[in-house]
Amino acid sequence: MSPEISIVIPVYNEEESLPRLFDELYPVMDKLDRSYEIIFVNDGSHDKSFSLLYDFQKKHLETVRFIDFNGNFGQHMAIMAAFLHVRGKYIITLDADLQNPPAEIPKLVQQMDAGHDVVGTYRQNRHDPVFRKAASKVVNKITNNITGLHINDYGCMLRGYSRRIVDIIAHSNESTTFIPALGQKYAVNPIEIPVNHREREFGTSKYSMFRLIRLNFDLMTSFSLSPLQWVTMSGMGISILSFILVAYMLIRRFIIGSEADGLFTLMAIQFFLTGISIMSLGIIGEYIGRIYKQIQKRPRFVIKDIWEKKDSGDKND
């Protein structure tokens, strides 16, 4: 019989937080008094995460399933792999770092019971460095403007999805994707609710500044052509301004005569235009890069093993 709730948890080098996550998660799920399953995805961890997940799955054969990747493919690909194997009516994603406490899960279930097919969350009283919070607000606003979506917090992965939404996401064929944005795009009756946020107690964030920038480039180029349109409009605007400047300098040459005072101004303008050109090529390259990755048709992730209870006993696929 299929469980009512599936909890999906990607794991990458979380050996310090996993024991506490196990201790907190089970009481919350048992208190809901509903059938459930917990699916962990080991995203190529090179610490003791695998052995901890393996032992935990052995102790809870009825409710825990464990997908082991053949390398590191990223958080969103780990969730995507779990989406292909979930059996629940409601699917809830949760990070393993405990910054979003499992105690918030009943809030999402309540909203899905009310008929919302996607339950987004935003972190209340966020415990992150000031710079990271400020950068997140700017990126969220820019991304919403570009993609046309309305998500307050793209970085919070504690989210709930109906089975219909998960099936749509799981069978999309994009080489790179962003789970919360896809869910919002296909949702009929979405909602966002505040959830508590903890200060990180174990390890460090797996998202460096470069990876965050990379992720946001993927997000913007996946859901909109606006960057390309901005490049086109910028090019048209600069061309018009350049034409006006040339006309002005030509008239000035006839009136005043030859002069060299504006040499450095012209150099500054040239550097500015060069910068715009390089940026434009970069944006175009992002889209071409996505096309290149898509036509390669390489697997988005490789599953090494799936550990779960079988009819014939406990063994892996």
Stronger pLDDT, 240 or 119, i.e. the higher one: 119
Q: Higher-confidence residue: 210 or 240?
A: 240
Number of compact structural domains in the chain:
2
231 shares a domain with 195: no
Confidence of residue 116 (pLDDT cuts 50, 70, 90): very high
CA–CA separation, 176 and 166 (whole Å): 16
Q: CA-CA distances (angstroms) from residue 90 to 1, 84, 113, 301?
A: 15, 14, 9, 24
> Would you say residue 220 lies in a domain?
no
Percent of the chain with pLDDT over 90: 43
57 lies in the same domain as 149: yes
Return the pLDDT at 264.
59
Give the CATH number of the domain where residue 134 resides: 3.90.550.10
**Is residue 59 domain-shared with residue 110, that is, in the same domain?**
yes
- Out of 21-30, 151-160, 218-227, which region has the weakest mean confidence (pLDDT)? 218-227
**How many other CB atoms are found less than 10 A from the CB of residue 180?**
23
The model's pTM is: 0.76
**Domain check: are 87 and 152 in the same one?**
yes
The pLDDT-based confidence of 312 (bands split at 50, 70, 90) is very low
For 58-73, how does the pLDDT look when each residue is reduced to its tens digit (9 = 90+)? 999 999 999 999 999 9
Phi, psi dihedral angles at 92 (to 5 degrees): -120, 125
Q: What is the DSSP letter of 84?
A: T
Q: Quote the pLDDT of residue 313.
A: 44
In this predicted structure, the answer to whether residue 36 has a pLDDT above a threshold of 80 is: yes
- Could you tell me if 152 and 87 lie in one domain? yes
**Mean pLDDT, residues 233-242 taken together:** 75
Higher pLDDT, 124 or 224: 124
CA distance 303 to 71: 9
Task: Give the residue numbers spanning the domain of 172.
Answer: 5-207+300-316
- Same-domain check for residues 100 and 245: no
> Do residues 96 and 85 touch, judged by C-beta distance below 8 A?
no
176 vs 70: CA distance, rounded Å: 18
Rounded average pLDDT over 152-176:
87
What's the pLDDT band for 5 if we cut at 50, 70, 90? very high
pLDDT at 196 over 50: yes
Decide if 248 is inside a domain.
yes
Q: Cα 111 vs. chain centroid, distance in angstroms? A: 22
pLDDT band at 209 (very low <50, low <70, confident <90, very high): low
* Residue 183 shares a structural domain with residue 250: no
* DSSP 8-state assignment for residue 4: S
Residues 151 and 242 in one domain: no
217 lies in a domain? no
**Torsion angle in degrees (nearest 10) through CA of 262, 268, 270, 274:** 180
Give the pLDDT confidence score for residue 261 in this predicted structure: 59
In a domain, 221, yes or no: no
Do 117 and 66 reside in the same domain of the chain? Answer: yes
Residue type, 135: A
Q: Is the pLDDT of residue 232 over 50?
A: yes
Residue 161 confidence (pLDDT) above 80: yes
Among 137-141, 179-183, 223-227, top mean pLDDT goes to 179-183
Name which residue leads in pLDDT, 281 or 259. Answer: 281
Q: Are residues 285 and 309 in the same domain?
A: no
Torsional class of 13: left (φ above 0), alpha (ψ -120 to 50), beta (otherwise): left
Q: What are phi and psi of 36, to 5 degrees?
A: -155, 165
Q: Are residues 285 and 306 in the same domain?
A: no
Q: How far apart are the first and last CA of the chain?
A: 20
Q: How far is the C-alpha of 136 from the C-alpha of 236, rounded, in Å? A: 31
- Average pLDDT of 12-28? 93
Q: Both 197 and 233 in a single domain? A: no
Mean pLDDT, the chain, integer: 83
What is the model's pLDDT at position 138?
Answer: 74
**Distance, CA of 3 to CA of 181 (rounded, Å):** 26
pLDDT at site 131? 67
